[in-house]
Structure 1
Amino acid sequence: MFQKYRNFIRGISVNRIGQAGVIFTTTAFAGFLFFEFLRLIGVLDNAYIGLITYMLFPAMFLMGLALMPLAWYRYSKQQKKSTRELLNERFDDGDIREGFFGSRVFLIILILTMVNVLFIAGAGFRTMKFMDEPKFCGTACHSVMGPEWTAYQQSPHSRVKCVECHVGQGVDAVVSAKLNGLRQMALAMLSDYERPIPTPVHQLRPSRETCEQCHWPKKFYGSRLITRIHYKMDRGSTPRYTTLQLKIDTGRSAGNGGIHWHVATENEVRYASVGDKREEIIWVDWRQPDGTYHRFENTRLRDKTTEADYTHVRNMDCVDCHNRVTHVYEDAESAVDDRIQRGLVDRSLPFVKREMLAAITANYSSDEAGLQGIRNHFFGFYQALDAVQGARLTDRIENAVTVAQDIYKRNIHHHMRIDWNTYPNHLGHQHDGGCFRCHNPNIRDKQGKMIRHECTLCHSILAYDEANRFQYLFQPDKKNPNYKMHLFLRDEFLHSKVQADKN
């Protein structure tokens, strides 16, 4: 059998083009099987090896198959002989003699064709599976996607595949995504891409098709209690607590809409923004029960914009607030607070919160300079503070340096020009516009009525930067200058609790 295969290969290798075709197909076939075997036994697990296995080898195989008939066609033109005459020259009489199932050459071609079809189908399936893996998305173009891959791995959605949000369902979506991916790969190879990656990403599938596969607005009920711990800049990095009861209801059960009122299926909220960043709102309207829309306009922009500026009009959905839900870049101070809260940093280290924040937010020229600068900052500070004590605290200082460097490596990427707050987070309103993009005194309807923006609209406040997690639930001290505010917030919480229990 092997001799017949050798004779067949020798017969179709009519010139250098045919020989190249045979080499390409044979090498690609053997290489694919070998690399796939190594993957199955766990020896190879790398995106770049995957590129070779699932993209280079299949491409070589198809190219080789295309070269063989081209070589035969060119050879026949040069020899000016018919196909039958060439077969008689290249093969023995026994190989081309007609039998019950055809000649041996025909049977070999038929068998190899079936093998080729199966190989191409299997390789194509494995290629699609490989290209759908998050590891491929994050590591194949590491210089571009490295920051996004780093953020993705530490996000709440790290088990959700990239393609579930970035590709879509159906043949059209897959073909469009793969063609766009090829274009982006070519741009990455030529270093012709924007730094940082611009957001928002307009090719995302609608959130009704993605987010709501797991997060169903109809099932958002009641309230959710959260406590945020903030540490002061004093010597002991003293903790302070902010406790909020978030009103996350869509409005069905309680009758009063909470935060998710905006995406309830019976509500439709639209808005127009300046440019495509969705940060400065021109107008916002919502559909009334009779089908009409009630519009609120930004009075600051009323005389500065025209209908021509209303090109970026959107129906509000999940990602208008949850815009960094997967590729999460941290705020510097929140990141430090989080590491202290989780016990990764020893709070007994003097001024550790202040110095860690200063170290990671300093201006460095490169990632490497940043990591070294953080180390120099910590050891320089504690040496100056108390050389003797600093020597005793070396292990704790070293640990703080490691944690600070980890924060820096996760959030700062000089080669992609990503710094602190490069990507604003619209969830809440702690630092960036967030909710206040629409909920502010400048956005009014024709009667001058504002969109509500009082603090207790979306959350009851049980403590705000206080020493006790539930400070405002206690009887306030009348001598306290914030007595009236504490009393109001306590009564508001109790009232909202009673209303929720009634419903």
Structure 2
Amino acid sequence: MRQTITNFLRGIASNWISKTGVLLVTTSFVMFSIFQLFTMLGLLTNAYIGLITYLGFPSIFILGLLIIPVGWWKYVHETGRSTRELLAEKFGPNELAPNPFGATLIRTIAILTVLNVTILGAASVRMLHFMESPEFCGTACHSVMGPEWATYQDSPHAHVKCVECHVGEGMGALIDSKINGTWQMISVTFKLYERPIPAPVHQLRPARETCEKCHWPSKFHGTRLKTYTRYQMDQNNTPKYTTLNLKVGSGESGQASGIHWHIASKNEVRYGAIDDRREEILWVEAKQPDGTFKRYDNRRYDPATPVNETRILDCIDCHNRATHIYELPEKAIDRRFSEGLLQRDLPFLKREALAAITRNYPDRNSGLEGIRNHLTGFFRQYSPMIIGERLGAIDSAITVVQNIYRRNIHPDMNVTWGSYPNHIGHETDLGCFRCHNMDMVDTDGDNVVNECTTCHSILSFQQDEPFAYLFPVKPGEREGDMH
């Protein structure tokens, strides 16, 4: 069989065109096999190697298969002889002689056809599997997806594949994603994409279809106790605590309550957004028990203002940064203090770290170097002795602060602090206050409820103790009414 296939390849390589096709087919097959073996052994993991393996080599393989018959066709026309005559010249009588299972040449063609289909099928399956990996999504187009990849790896959904939210299940979703991906490839090739990538992504799958595969609306969350620690910009980096009893509740029809009241089917909420980012809301409508909708209009805007988008409120209207969460500088530093990555006994570390990462740097390398120079210079000036005594702690702090900058700031994509607002809560961005504000009123002039205790009970706010308001009021305490 080996000799038969060798004779067949020599026979069809009738001119330089066919020889080129045979060379492309055999070379790409061998290289694909080698790269696939190394990938299975874990020796090759780079996304660009995957592109070469699953896109490059199969494409060359197909190109070679197409070139071979073109070369044969040209050979036939140049010689002026029939295909039968040329086959008789290229192959011996034994290979052309008929037998019960077909001529040897026909069997060879059939075997090679099956082999080619098998190779292409295996390559296609591996290609689809590779293109569904987070590594491909995040690193194949690194200049564009670098910010998303950095935040994905440090997110609550880091164990969830990108395609599970961005593509979905079924052939229809796969085809749609490939069509959309074709335009993305064109955009990357010719640099037609926006910087930063605009959000929200309007062609994202419906939130209920995506989120509710894991997060069931019927689950009653009740109340959640949450303590936020903010460190002061003093010498001791003093912690202050804010503790909230969050009334998360449930979206289940029978017990819809709390924050998740908004997603109960019987409480359908819809709104009209003026801007593309869904931050300026013109009106809100809430479904009533009798099936009608009660409307609230934003009196800050002319009622004739055109609506950019009308939506039924769903998960991502509040959880808009469920995975690709960009931090704000102060909260990012506070988080590292709470995680023990930054040491409070380094004087004024919070203040100086914040000053270092919020400067405007022309590029990433300048930013990383600027952070090092700023912190090193401060501690050297503050106390020359501290550089020698706490050099290890200072170097560690510099690395942590640089990692905060590296994670959140991407000059090449114009991603900086605040480029992507987070609508969970309302501490730093509009969030809940997009709708729950004094300007959103009904026909009677009553505004949408916006009392603090509607969504959370405040047990402490910027206090020395996490549960300060549960203790008796101290004489002369300014916030005694909060207890």
Q: Structure 2 length normalisation: TM-score?
A: 0.97
Q: Which residue of 2 aligns with 1:409?
A: 406
Query: In the alignment, what sits opposite 1:18?
Result: 18
Displacement of 1:22 in angstroms is 0.9
Distance 1:476 1:256, change over 3 A: farther
In structure 2, the CA distance between the partners of 1:254 and 1:9, relative to structure 1 (3 Å rule), is: closer
When residues 119 and 251 of structure 1 are mapped into structure 2, their CA distance, relative to the original with a 3 A threshold, is: closer
Aligned to 1:421: 418
Cα separation, 2, equivalents of 1:417 and 1:248 = 35
Which one of 306, 310, 316 corresponds to residue 319 of structure 1?
Answer: 316
Amino acid aligned to 2:300: R
Structure 1 CA distance, aligned partners of 2:475 and 2:151?
47
Quote the offset at 1:395 in angstroms.
Answer: 2.1
> Could you tell me which residue of structure 1 aligns to residue 385 of structure 2?
388
The code of the aligned residue for 2:350 comes to K
Q: Deviations over 1:445-502 (max 9, x none)?
A: 1111111011111000000000011111112235323222x14xxxxxxxxxxxxxxx
2:41 counterpart letter in structure 1: I
Distance in 2, Cα, partners of 1:36 & 1:329: 36
Equivalent residue number for residue 271 of structure 1: 271
Q: Counterpart of 1:498?
A: none
Counterpart of 2:257? 257
Instruction: Report the alpha carbon displacement of residue 73 of structure 1 after superposing the two structures with TM.
Output: 2.5
Deviation track 1:318-363 (CA, whole Å, cap 9, x = no partner) reads 1111111111111110111111111111101111111111111111
SS at match of 2:478: coil
Residue 33 (str. 1) matches residue 33 (str. 2): yes
Whether contact under 8 Å (2:253, 2:265) holds in the other structure is no
Higher mean displacement: 473-482 or 1-10: 473-482
The match for 1:454 among 451, 469, 480 is 451
What letter corresponds to residue 338 of structure 2 in structure 1?
Answer: Q
Distance 1:200 1:29, change over 3 A: same
**Equivalent-residue separation in structure 2 for 1:235 and 1:102 (angstroms):** 90
Deviation at 1:186, TM superposition (A): 2.9
TM-superposed deviation, 1:254: 9.1
> What residue number does 1:221 align with?
221
Q: Specify the code of the residue in structure 2 equivalent to 1:145.
A: M
Secondary structure of the corresponding residue to residue 465 of structure 1? strand
Q: Is the 8 A contact 1:355 1:378 kept in 2?
A: yes
1:492: which partner in 2?
none
- Per-residue deviation at 1:90? 1.9
Equivalent pair of 2:299/2:441 in contact (CA under 8 Å)? yes
Deviation at residue 311 of structure 1 after TM alignment: 3.9
User: RMSD of the alignment, in Å?
Assistant: 1.6
Work out whether 1:469 is the aligned partner of 2:463.
no
Gaps of 5+ in 2: none
| Contact 1:222/1:254 (<8 A) preserved | no
Q: 1:217 to 1:50 in 2, by over 3 A?
A: same
Aligned-partner SS, 2:207: coil
Describe how 1:174-323 pairs up with structure 2 within 5 A.
Answer: 174-250=174-250, 257-303=257-303, 305=305, 309-323=306-320
Give CA-to-partner distance per residue, 1:370-415, whole Å, 9 cap, x none.
Answer: 1111111111111222223343222222111111111111111111
Q: Is the 8 A contact 2:219 2:252 kept in 1?
A: no
Change (3 A) 1:3 1:268: same
Distance of aligned partners of 1:72 and 1:203 in 2 relative to their CA distance in 1, 3 Å threshold: same
Q: How far apart are 1:68 and its partner, in Å?
A: 1.9
1:218–1:264 CA contact under 8 A, matched in 2: no
Counterpart contact for 1:283–1:298, Cα < 8 Å: yes
Relative to 1, partners in 2 of residues 1:252 and 1:134: Cα closer, same or farther, differing over 3 Å? closer
Residues 155, 328 of structure 1: 8 Å contact kept: yes
**Displacement over 4 Å in runs of 4+:** 251-256
2:244–2:459 contact (8 Å) kept in structure 1: yes
Aligned-residue identity in percent = 50
Question: In structure 1, the residue corresponding to 2:212 is in which secondary structure?
Answer: helix
Change in 2 beyond 3 A, CA 1:331/1:32 = same
User: Is 1:348 matched with 2:368?
Assistant: no
CA contact (8 A) 1:20 1:67 kept: yes
Distance 1:328 1:133, change over 3 A: same
Offset, 1:255: 5.5
Distance 2:190 2:445 in 1: 53
Partner residue in 2 for 1:435: 432
With normalisation by structure 1, the TM-score equals 0.93
In 2, Cα distance between equivalents of 1:171 and 1:253: 33
The number of residues matched between the two structures is 483
Please tell me whether the aligned partners of residues 251 and 262 of structure 2 are also in contact (alpha carbons under 8 angstroms).
Answer: no
Inter-partner Cα distance in structure 2 for 1:389 and 1:69:
77
**Separation in structure 2 between the aligned mates of residue 313 and residue 304 of structure 1, nearest angstrom:** 15
Is 2:32–2:57's contact at 8 Å kept on the other side of the alignment? yes
> Structure 1 residue 291: deviation in Å?
2.2
Write out aligned runs for 1:366-377 (5 A): 366-377=363-374
Distance 1:111 1:481 in 2: 88
After superposition, give the CA deviation of every residue in 1:99-120 in whole Å (9 maximum; x if it has no partner): 1111111010010011111111
For residues 450 and 256 of structure 1, do their structure 2 counterparts lie closer, same or farther at Cα, with a shift above 3 Å needed?
farther
Residue in structure 2 matching 1:357, options 354, 373, 395: 354
**Within-5 A mapping of 1:34-183:** 34-183=34-183
Q: 8 Å contact 1:229–1:241 — kept in the other structure?
A: yes
Cα distance 1:259–1:96, how it changes in 2: closer, same or farther (>3 A)?
same
Deviates more, 1:146-155 or 1:181-190: 181-190
Letter in 2 for 1:436: F
Contact 1:250 1:262 in 2 (8 A): no
Partner of 1:84, secondary structure, is helix
Q: Secondary structure at the match of 1:266?
A: helix
1:5 to 2:5 alignment: yes
Whole-Å separation in 2 of the counterparts to 1:216 and 1:174: 25
| Cα distance in 2 for residues equivalent to 1:402 and 1:259 | 38
- 2:55 and 2:127 in contact (8 A); partners too: yes
The one-letter amino acid paired with 1:385 is: Y
Task: Output the CA distance in 2 between the equivalents of 1:226 and 1:382.
Answer: 34
Q: Which amino acid aligns with 1:470?
A: F
Check 1:84–1:364 CA distance in 2 against 1; reply closer, same or farther (3 A cut): same
Deviation at 1:252, TM superposition (A): 5.3
Mapped to 1, the partners of 2:287 and 2:24 lie a distance apart of 62
SS at match of 1:230: strand
Structure 1, unaligned stretches of length 5 or more? Answer: 488-503
The alpha carbon displacement at 1:183 in A equals 2.4
| Residue type of the alignment partner of 1:263 | I
1:440 and 1:268 mapped to 2: Cα distance?
Answer: 19
Shift of 1:235: 0.7
Residues 221 and 253 in structure 1, CA contact (< 8 A), matched pair in contact too: no
